[in-house]
Amino acid sequence: MAGYIGNIPTPQATQSRQSFTATASQTTFATIGYTPNFVDVYLNGVHLLDGTDYTATNSSDVVLTVGAAVSDVIEVISYETFAVLDQTFVGATEVTSAGTTTLTVSSTGTGDADALLVLDSADGGESEVRFSHDGVHGASIQWYTDGSPDLNITTVAGTDGVIDFQPNNSNAMRIDASGNLLVGTTSTTAPIVNNGGAGVVIRGVNGQIYAGGADTQPLTLNRETSDGIIAQFRKDGVGVGSIGTSGGDLYVGTGDTTLKFSDAADVIVPTGTNGAARSGFLSLGNGSNKFKDLFLSGGVDFGGAVNSGSVVSSSNKLGDYEEGTWTPTLLFGGSSAGMVYGQRNGYYTKVGNMVTASCYILVSSKGTSTGAARLYGLPFTSNSATNAFTTGTFWVNTVTFTGVPEGYVEPNSTNFSLAYVAESGAATGMTNQNFFNGSGVMINVTYRV
């Protein structure tokens, strides 16, 4: 349409003309309506420039920049598009506009009336929606009728290669050019950095999965109906371990070497494949690899009691082990008036209900107390059963007596009685008279508590 003055109407558009006779200095002319950027305005036959000589932006009024003179003629030509019904376009069809270009596919029917945009390629071809900017191809959505993949969303060289999914204009998911899938985050490391924010990252190149969440559990795995493996771990394609459920409890391990955690019974038990019962096979550590310390508030049970002949086992549980020191005291008749010690120390080891105690006492001055000689202060009270006496050995220095020294622990006591046996076999308890300044005593005894 060479030589046409004004906006060139497209083939699928209609024109509406209105003419106004101006009053003195009139600037605003109310039209029957128009589409902004699809309007021409003439003053006395002279085409006016949009944005310079007039503005037409509210779809109703045309406003002159300079008021018209009385009787000036203002002519407004507006263009309206119209739909083409059941039209087929052959070859390349292009829709262009100096402003925003909109291609709308709508259905005015009722009920289940659909609006479809159909791309139909020839046999062996492909259907593609291509996105460009300033004539430069940036991205495509393609469907292949032959070959693989079936559906392909691509970005091309020169772009950052990021595909975002933004429901409600909020970035919910991203696929980047490195093959990473980011859900709830735009950072490939945020979920594993301190306070990096919530999100899930699947790093395709590295084969890594990151998940993070604030004040919530980042990972939940749920197996339904049957017991078995919940998570399996492999090295070079070979299984090396698993986490699963057995009887409603969690088990962890590899092959037939697993541990089962029972919260109902408050126990951790050795189990076999898939958490099945397996007793008496698993060891804790070995000759080359040992645990350091074992802290218990109860004891160690070595299994069921074994009874044979006259031997009756009442317990196979070791409930205690303890090492320490104690301070022995030498008393005569239960007193130590004026006694001065040059040295005294004591040590003990307790294993279960058996105590082994030893001590050494040196008295610089034996004092003035009189009566039976006993060592007091054993670390634990002896067993209270009737006649539960326990003998021990002791060594003395600068102590006089005739016979062989002997000592014992009485039932339900913390003292060690000192005595000697004469050649006649008679036992006599030692007293203050057997001791002198500079006397020394050492004992060793193992007794039941």
Residue 177 is assigned to a structural domain of this protein:
no
Residue at which a domain ends, from 49, 81, 113: 81
pLDDT at 209: 85
The amino acid at 387: N
Residues 241 and 329 in one domain: no
pLDDT at 251: 96
User: Considering the chain, what percentage of its residues have pLDDT values greater than 90?
Assistant: 55
If one compares 438 and 192, the residue with the highest pLDDT of the two is: 438
Residue 260 is assigned to a structural domain of this protein:
yes
Residues 337 and 260 in one domain: no
- Side-chain half-sphere of 325: how many Cα atoms within 13 Å? 5
Residue at which a domain ends, from 81, 102, 128: 81
Residue 161 is assigned to a structural domain of this protein:
no
**What are the pLDDT digits (tens) for 261-309?**
999 999 999 999 999 999 989 998 999 999 998 888 888 877 766 666 6
The H-or-E segment that residue 119 falls in is: none
pLDDT at 50: 92
Residue at which a domain ends, from 217, 248, 275: 275
Residue 180 is assigned to a structural domain of this protein:
no
Residue 434 is assigned to a structural domain of this protein:
yes
83 pLDDT band, cuts 50/70/90, is low
pLDDT at 390: 96
Report how many domains make up the chain: 3
Q: Is 371 helix (H, G, I), strand (E, B) or coil?
A: coil
Task: Please classify residue 133 by burial: count the beta carbons closer than 10 Å to its beta carbon, then call 0-12 exposed, 13-18 middle and 19+ buried.
Answer: exposed
Residues 421 and 328 in one domain: yes
92 pLDDT band, cuts 50/70/90, is low
Give dist(CA 77, CA 14) in Å, integer: 10
Residue 136 is assigned to a structural domain of this protein:
no
Please give the sequence-ordered ranges of beta strands (E in DSSP) within 48-147, or none if there are none: 54-55, 61-68, 73-81, 126-133, 136-144
Residue 93 is assigned to a structural domain of this protein:
no
**What are the pLDDT digits (tens) for 207-265?**
888 888 878 888 889 999 999 999 999 999 999 999 999 999 999 999 999 999 999 99
Q: How far is CA 88 from CA 101, 125, 128, 167, 266, in A?
A: 20, 20, 19, 34, 77
Q: Is the pLDDT of residue 23 over 70?
A: yes
Residues 374 and 436 in one domain: yes
Residue 404 belongs to what domain range?
322-448
pLDDT at 1: 40
Residues 271 and 328 in one domain: no
